[in-house]
């Protein structure tokens, strides 16, 4: 088990280096000089050179990358934004809770929809409920979150006025004009729904398929042959096994979900990581982009690690081999 | 014809008689078990096949029996070079094929074909039967399109299928018919040797009889040589001229079928024979049965000395668990790897335990 | 009264291609403490018969009729609750593949105690003690340690022992074993069959063993039922079935078997393959493959009638008794002659 964890951690480091290197390369392939933007329109050639020297942009890319790594490892610092001169650490610190609220709430919502719907439609295939859930799945998979977000905010926000269309409220500390758990959830409800529908649809399908497959397993028949009542067969023999792959998928989809959060944040103007990254891209603000990439990568790696360990814990075949 | 010179790989020459189509010499296949955080290092080896030697004469059938995990399928794949053996030699028609390159192997692949166990999995379900059977012909560029088609139809007829079904897909056939397609595919290029890996174990008895009869007929008609691998002792005895018994990657006994089944020397062979249910209620219930205890050991960590000693009723401490038994000869072409071979047969488990005084020590 | 009396059992499955008559009019009975063997090839309906008796077919797609009287009560019309009390307690079942028949995520101990606690009002520790007792009885070494292992830590033979322990934990009156040794090696098969016979003496359970292996049946069964294409074609005491079978399909089965106690050059082969159960042939279902086929076979389905000199032996065949006696004697004599 310890060996397994060490191996996973080492792989995480490799993954981390790979992701940041790729971000660097992409950034420098883009034909734009960040120093020019930083300096402003009135700058002379000499000014630009000075700015480049100040930010270290005159050094070769590998050196810049190593400097970035050094800063990160030694000082745990992601550097300063080109655009606002703020510490990227602070930018991430501000944006991360917003994205975390969106993603965590979204995951909870999508599992709340997908688990019961998936199980019920697996138990009664071709029933009305199964067919209805199929329609939901088709709509959920085909609708783009941006479109869905616009529709939701138009109907539920603008027409019916049930929910606010934009704005984010802190969960605890009312740093903004609003705050507290109720306001937080109230403001986030539409983003959550928008964010959750695609994944809920995918997970309904997956859970339905898993449960149906598990219902045909020999050990389920064994359980029935023992005289176990149906609810016990379902709980103890079907669900436990059918949910194993769901746990893995959830771990893998966290990365995907962070990507999906970008759309939702844009539509509802939530000041999360996605929106911040997009604004940073507009201004060629490499440190901010890089900082968000690094932070997201770490999050995804940590999540995957947790999920793998969780999986090993619930599946004895992995734990004991 | 003595194989006079030292062969290309610098190994001592093997004596090979003219009628010996296939000679397998000390064949080993070890699968590495690796562990490591980044750099995988080998910590152990699964000795799937650990030094098996035998010879197959032209036109005969060598049966290979053993329980799951005894290495019989690994051996088949090593002979066919579908797996690279770890060491040892496979000499086919006087030529060591173990180290041949892919290109040099190609003409030889025409002469040795394989029939697999699962008639469902071993045929590509998206290809028509005609294509499946013709594939080998086309790989080896034998004949024009019309000739290939004629040959395929001829083959389908030979194996007892309707030649008009040339254009059908495998799923339109029953299990037995699919195995016939597998046989036709193997026959397509007129091979000398066919390695059959559990060809009938997925089939029902009535269909199994059809395939066994077919294989026998084809052997007579085309002078084929078979290496026939199965776990069913009845089937192996029915089809084979000589039988090799395998246990944990080793050959433990090899003899002609009558000798092996009537006067086995190795206690494992005896146990296998006595474990086979006999479809006759009086004979079956009155015979002396030897029920082995325990399971086949893990080939990662095989027992010391004789591989069979932990389960053997004739086990003698200090000898069987120390000294690996060589293949002792017992008359014509009969060898068995046991320090305390059975004196007679049948024998009950209790009788087996009682060794004659002369044998002890 | 027989322990289990099955009369005219029919199990039809609704599929997209039509109705598959998987079991079509099967009758047999089992006496207390006896062993009944059902033999047949794949698709003959032998497994479905047992799953129907156990009520383990999916209810949505299955149409069942006939009777399966368990101690006088019909299992097929019994309420779910009542049936559940019998299943696993009075009738227990073991399956073909011990690799997949145990739940991979639960310890074997938990799976055993579950079976006990479903039917008995005992504490956890009592149930565990009983589970240990059974694991010991089926010959699992060091049961007090193995009880906390997971199924994947056992070998195939050991898993089948665990399955048997689980089935016997409530002292069932009937143990249904569906191809219990098919997935096992021959030496392991011998261990399991020996164990089952030993436990039958100890527990006094009747056993219904389903297999395609005539050898296994000859070895363990008192009575034999031969099934072909969803129907019973012959049944009787094991001696009769193997020594004087009265149905050409049984002859074919016996003749097509290569066997250790005789040597033949060519096996008797039954031509063709079993019919589709969507659309079985008219008349005797075996007639397209039968070498003795007559006109009447193509028109009339033969009834399962007692063989004239033995009221325990039934066969479904239009051939006259003399021919059947002669052919059976010839077949058996042929085997015996070659045996010596």
Is C216 part of the contact surface with chain B (CB cutoff 8 Å)?
yes
Residues C42 and C165 in one domain: yes
Please state the ipTM of this predicted complex: 0.88
Residues C46 and C161 in one domain: yes
**Chain A contact set for B33 (CB, 8 A):** none
> Count of domains in chain C?
2
Q: What pLDDT is attached to residue A291?
A: 86
Strand (E) or helix (H) holding B177: helix B175-187
Strand (E) or helix (H) holding C15: strand C4-15
Residues of A numbered 182-221 whose beta carbons fall under 8 angstroms of chain C's beta carbons: which are they? 217-219, 221
Q: What pLDDT is attached to residue B360?
A: 46
DSSP state of C87: B
| Residue partners of A249: CB distance under 8 A and separation at least 6 | A203, A206
| Residue C272 scores a pLDDT above 90 | no
Residue of A nearest to C118 (CA): A228
Asked whether residue C144 is domain-assigned, the answer is yes
Asked whether residue C236 is domain-assigned, the answer is no
Most confident of A14-18, A287-291, B20-24: B20-24
Residues C193 and C284 in one domain: no
Q: CA A280, CA A296: separation in Å to the nearest integer?
A: 15
Asked whether residue C241 is domain-assigned, the answer is no
Residues C198 and C159 in one domain: yes
Residues C43 and C145 in one domain: yes
Q: What is the mean pLDDT of residues A293-312?
A: 82
Q: What is the mean pLDDT of residues B253-270?
A: 94
Q: What is the mean pLDDT of residues C186-215?
A: 92
Q: What is the mean pLDDT of residues C58-86?
A: 92
Q: What pLDDT is attached to residue A32?
A: 61
Here the tokens at position B206 are: 């009535």
- Which domains are delineated in chain A? 2-75 (no CATH), 91-319 (1.10.3720.10)
Q: Tokens 């091979």 map to which residue?
A: B191
Residue of A nearest to C84 (CA): A227
Q: Give how far B98 is from chain C: nearest CA, Å.
A: 31
Domain enclosing residue C113, as ranges? 4-225
| Residue partners of B101: CB distance under 8 A and separation at least 6 | none
- The CATH code of the domain that includes C147 is 3.40.50.300
Residue range B129-165, pLDDT digits in tens: 989 998 888 887 778 888 888 889 999 988 988 888 8
Q: Is residue C114 within 8 Å of residue A226, measured between CB atoms?
A: yes
Asked whether residue C255 is domain-assigned, the answer is yes
Contact: C114, A241; criterion CB under 8 Å: no
Residue range B87-120, pLDDT digits in tens: 999 999 999 999 899 999 988 988 999 998 877 7
**Who among C104, C118, C152 is closest to A227 (CB)?**
C118
Where is the domain boundary, C225, C255, C272?
C225
Q: Which of A6-15, A132-141, C29-38 has the lowest mean pLDDT?
A: A6-15
| Residue B70 scores a pLDDT above 80 | yes
Select the residue from C182, C229, C259, C286 to test the B interface by mutation, using most B Cβ atoms within 10 A.
C259
Residue of A nearest to B35 (CA): A3
Residues C141 and C221 in one domain: yes
Most confident of A16-20, B43-47, B151-155, C332-336: B151-155
Mean pLDDT of chain C: 91
Contact: C217, B177; criterion CB under 8 Å: no
Asked whether residue C237 is domain-assigned, the answer is no
Asked whether residue C231 is domain-assigned, the answer is no
Looking at the DSSP assignment, which residues form a beta bridge with residue C37? C209, C224
Residues C257 and C302 in one domain: yes
Residues C67 and C159 in one domain: yes
Q: What pLDDT is attached to residue B329?
A: 94
Q: What is the mean pLDDT of residues A119-132?
A: 89
Residues C110 and C204 in one domain: yes
**Chain A contact set for C175 (CB, 8 A):** none
| Residue partners of C280: CB distance under 8 A and separation at least 6 | C21, C24, C229, C230
Residue of C nearest to A313 (CA): C105
Residues C283 and C204 in one domain: no
Strand (E) or helix (H) holding C20: strand C18-30
Residue range A209-259, pLDDT digits in tens: 999 999 999 999 999 999 999 999 999 999 989 988 888 888 778 778 888
Residue of A nearest to C163 (CA): A222
Q: What pLDDT is attached to residue B202?
A: 83
Q: CA C301, CA C296: separation in Å to the nearest integer?
A: 9
Three-state SS across C54-80? Answer: CCCCCHHHEEEEEEEEECCEEHHHCCH
Strand (E) or helix (H) holding B156: helix B145-158
**Chain C contact set for B216 (CB, 8 A):** 266
pTM: 0.85
Q: Give how far B37 is from chain A: nearest CA, Å.
A: 5
| Residue A175 scores a pLDDT above 60 | no
Residues C185 and C270 in one domain: no
Distance between start and end Cα atoms, chain C: 43
**Chain B contact set for C258 (CB, 8 A):** 209, 212, 234-235, 237-239
**Chain C contact set for B239 (CB, 8 A):** 258
Q: What pLDDT is attached to residue C338?
A: 54
Residue range A94-118, pLDDT digits in tens: 888 888 888 888 889 989 999 999 9
Contact: C114, A320; criterion CB under 8 Å: no
Where is the domain boundary, C167, C194, C225?
C225
Asked whether residue C233 is domain-assigned, the answer is no
Q: CA C191, CA C180: separation in Å to the nearest integer?
A: 12
B201 confidence band (pLDDT: 50, 70, 90):
confident
Select the residue from A226, A232, A321 to test the C interface by mutation, using most C Cβ atoms within 10 A.
A226
Residue of A nearest to C165 (CA): A226
B2 confidence band (pLDDT: 50, 70, 90):
very low
Residues C153 and C102 in one domain: yes
Is A231 part of the contact surface with chain C (CB cutoff 8 Å)?
no
Asked whether residue C37 is domain-assigned, the answer is yes
Three-state SS across chain A? Answer: CHHHHHHHHHHHHHHHHHHHHHHHHHHHHCCCCHHHHHHCCCCCHHHHHHHHHHHCCCCCHHHHHHHHHHHHHHHCCCCECCCCCCEHHHHHHHHHHHHHHHHHHHHHHHHHHHHHHHHHHHHCCCCHHHHHHHHHHHHHHHCCHHHHHHHHHHHHHHHCCCCCCCCCCECCCCCCCCECHHHHHHHHHHHHHHHHHHHHHHHHHHHHHHHHHHHCCHHHHHHHHCCCCHHHHHHHHHHHHHCHHHHHHHHHHHHHHHHHHHHHHHHCCCCCHHHHHHHHHHCCCHHHHHHHHHHHHHHHHHHHHHHHHHHHHHCHHHHCC
**Who among A218, A241, A317 is closest to C101 (CB)?**
A218
Q: Tokens 């009747």 map to which residue?
A: C206
């Amino acid at each position: 088990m310890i060996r397994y964890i060490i191996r996973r951690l080492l792989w995480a480091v490799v993954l981390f280096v790979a992701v940041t290197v790729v971000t660097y390369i992409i950034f420098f392939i883009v034909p734009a000089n960040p120093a020019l933007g930083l300096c402003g329109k009135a700058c002379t050639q000499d000014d630009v050179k000075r700015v480049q020297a100040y930010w270290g942009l005159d050094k070769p890319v590998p050196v810049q990358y190593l400097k970035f790594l050094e800063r990160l490892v030694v000082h745990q610092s992601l550097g300063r934004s080109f655009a606002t001169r703020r510490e990227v650490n602070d930018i991430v610190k501000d944006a991360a809770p917003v994205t975390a609220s969106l993603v965590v709430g979204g995951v909870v919502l999508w599992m709340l929809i997908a688990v019961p719907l998936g199980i019920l439609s697996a138990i009664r295939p071709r029933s009305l409920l199964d067919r209805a859930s199929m329609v939901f799945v088709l709509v959920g998979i085909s609708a783009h979150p941006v479109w869905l977000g616009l529709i939701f905010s138009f109907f539920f926000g603008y027409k019916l006025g049930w929910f606010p269309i934009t704005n984010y409220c802190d969960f605890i500390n009312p740093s903004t004009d609003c705050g507290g758990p109720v306001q937080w959830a109230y403001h986030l409800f539409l983003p959550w729904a928008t964010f959750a529908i695609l994944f809920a649809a995918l997970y309904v399908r997956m859970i339905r398929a898993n449960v149906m497959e598990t219902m045909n397993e020999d050990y389920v028949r064994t359980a029935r042959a023992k005289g176990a009542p149906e609810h016990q067969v379902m709980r103890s023999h079907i669900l436990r096994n059918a949910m194993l792959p769901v746990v893995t998928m959830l771990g893998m989809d966290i990365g995907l979900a962070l990507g999906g959060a970008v759309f939702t944040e844009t539509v509802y103007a939530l000041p999360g990581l996605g929106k911040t990254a997009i604004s940073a891209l507009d201004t060629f603000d490499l440190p901010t982009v890089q900082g968000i990439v690094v932070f997201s990568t770490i999050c995804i790696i940590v999540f995957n690690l947790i999920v793998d360990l969780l999986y090993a814990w619930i599946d004895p075949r992995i734990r004991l081999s | 014809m003595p194989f006079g010179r030292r062969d290309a790989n610098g190994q001592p020459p093997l004596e090979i008689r003219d009628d010996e189509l296939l000679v397998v010499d000390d064949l080993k296949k070890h699968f590495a078990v690796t562990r490591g955080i980044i750099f995988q290092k080998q910590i152990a080896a699964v000795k799937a096949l650990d030094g098996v030697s035998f010879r197959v004469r032209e036109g005969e059938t060598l049966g290979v029996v053993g329980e799951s995990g005894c290495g019989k399928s690994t051996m088949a794949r090593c002979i066919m070079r579908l797996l690279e053996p770890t060491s040892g030699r496979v000499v086919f028609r006087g030529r060591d094929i173990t180290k041949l390159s892919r290109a040099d192997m190609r003409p030889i692949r025409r002469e040795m074909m394989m029939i697999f166990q699962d008639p469902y999995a071993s045929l590509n379900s998206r290809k028509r039967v005609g294509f499946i059977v013709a594939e080998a012909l086309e790989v080896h560029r034998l004949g024009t399109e019309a000739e290939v088609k004629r040959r395929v139809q001829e083959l389908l007829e030979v194996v007892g299928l309707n030649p008009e079904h040339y254009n059908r897909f495998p799923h339109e056939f029953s299990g037995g018919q699919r195995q016939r397609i597998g046989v036709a595919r193997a026959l397509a290029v007129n091979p000398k040797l066919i390695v059959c890996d559990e060809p009938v174990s997925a089939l029902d008895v009535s269909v199994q009889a059809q395939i066994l009869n077919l294989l026998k007929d084809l052997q007579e008609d085309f002078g084929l040589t078979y290496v026939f691998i199965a776990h069913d002792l009845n089937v192996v005895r029915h089809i084979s001229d000589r039988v090799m018994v395998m246990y944990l990657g080793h050959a433990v006994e090899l003899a002609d079928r009558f000798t092996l089944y009537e006067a086995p020397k190795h206690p494992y062979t005896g146990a296998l024979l006595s474990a086979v249910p006999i479809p006759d209620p009086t004979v079956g219930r009155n015979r002396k049965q030897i029920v082995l205890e325990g399971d086949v050991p893990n080939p990662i960590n095989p027992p010391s000395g004789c591989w069979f000693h932990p389960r053997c009723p004739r086990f003698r401490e200090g000898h069987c668990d120390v000294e690996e038994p060589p293949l002792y000869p017992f008359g014509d072409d009969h060898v068995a790897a046991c320090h305390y071979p059975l004196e007679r047969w049948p024998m009950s488990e209790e009788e087996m335990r009682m060794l004659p005084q002369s044998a002890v020590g | 009264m027989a322990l289990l009396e099955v009369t005219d059992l029919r199990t039809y499955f609704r599929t997209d291609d039509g109705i598959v008559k998987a079991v079509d009019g099967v009758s047999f009975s089992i006496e207390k403490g006896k062993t009944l063997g059902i033999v047949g090839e794949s698709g003959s309906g032998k497994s479905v018969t047992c799953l129907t008796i156990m009520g383990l077919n999916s209810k949505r797609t299955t149409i069942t009729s006939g009777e399966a009287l368990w101690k006088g009560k019909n299992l097929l019309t019994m309420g779910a609750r009542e049936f559940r009390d019998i299943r696993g307690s009075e009738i227990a079942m073991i399956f073909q593949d011990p690799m997949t028949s145990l739940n991979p995520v639960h310890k074997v101990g938990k799976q055993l105690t579950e079976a006990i606690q479903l039917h008995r009002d005992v504490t956890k520790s009592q149930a565990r003690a009983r589970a240990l007792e059974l694991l010991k009885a089926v010959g699992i070494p060091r049961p007090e340690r193995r009880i906390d292992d997971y199924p994947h830590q056992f070998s195939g033979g050991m898993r089948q022992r665990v399955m048997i322990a689980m089935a016997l934990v409530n002292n069932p009156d009937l143990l249904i074993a569906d191809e219990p040794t098919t997935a096992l090696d021959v030496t392991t098969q011998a261990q399991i069959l020996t164990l089952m016979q030993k436990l039958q003496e100890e527990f006094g359970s009747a056993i219904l063993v389903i297999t395609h292996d005539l050898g296994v049946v000859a070895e363990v069964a008192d009575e034999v039922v031969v099934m072909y294409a969803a129907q019973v074609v012959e049944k009787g005491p094991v001696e009769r079935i193997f020594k004087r079978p009265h149905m050409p399909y049984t002859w074919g089965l016996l003749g097509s078997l290569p066997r250790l106690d005789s040597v033949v050059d060519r096996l008797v082969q039954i031509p063709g393959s079993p019919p589709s159960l969507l659309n079985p042939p008219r008349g005797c279902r075996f007639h397209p493959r039968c070498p003795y086929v007559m006109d009447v076979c193509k028109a009339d389905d033969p009834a399962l009638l007692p063989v004239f000199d033995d009221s325990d032996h039934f066969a479904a065949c239009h051939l006259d008794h003399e021919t059947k006696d002669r052919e059976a004697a010839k077949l058996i004599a042929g085997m015996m002659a070659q045996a010596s």
